[in-house]
Amino acid sequence: MYARSRALPATLGTLAGVALTAAWAAWWLQAQPRFDHTARVPVVVLAPLLVSAAIGTGMYTHSDELDRTAVRPWWPRRLAVLLGLTALAAALLALGVPGHPEAFGAPAAVRNLLGATGITAGAAALLGARLSWLPTTAYLSTVYLAAPRAHGGGAALWAWPVQPGPQPGAWAAAVVAYGCGAGLYVWRGARREGR
């Protein structure tokens, strides 16, 4: 009942669909004659964005009054669902987006998934689950359009979604975003929304 109230079956279906689409897009880009590793940037940015949006909207509950008056605390369930969905999505995207780790392959997709899911989880706690995808979409779109072409340096901290896989600054920023957003969501839950 808990899984159904959080739209978990629909979220799992969306994760599988996005992973299959990302795998097809990455394969298609590799098959192009003018392919280089930067051509996969749209895949490693868009697929984690869509997956994090599915995870975020799945945080909505129709029975938040019951959740708040329950005998047992809800944070362990929220943590388990968030970690489980994140791990499953990371595995699916890592399998679906092949490539060299030093370029835009599986490590970049997993890093972007962590950062995007963290932003979405934090937004669910602050704005509500239905709008949790909005800040992530705005941030990733802005970074995709405005990031410098040079990789590394200070840009790795704010433009982590468009950095190659092994950039330490990009990983640090994405892990911090995931930790802060997930911690806020697990602690507070999704914000109550008006009917």
Q: pLDDT tens digits, the chain, 195 residues: what are they?
A: 555 556 788 888 999 999 999 989 888 877 777 776 677 788 899 999 999 999 998 887 766 666 666 667 788 889 999 999 999 999 999 998 877 666 788 899 999 999 999 999 999 999 999 999 999 999 999 999 988 877 777 888 899 999 988 889 999 999 999 999 999 999 988 888 765
Amino acid letter at 91?
Answer: A
Amino acid letter at 183?
Answer: G
How many helices (H) and strands (E) in the chain?
9, 0
pTM over 0.85: yes
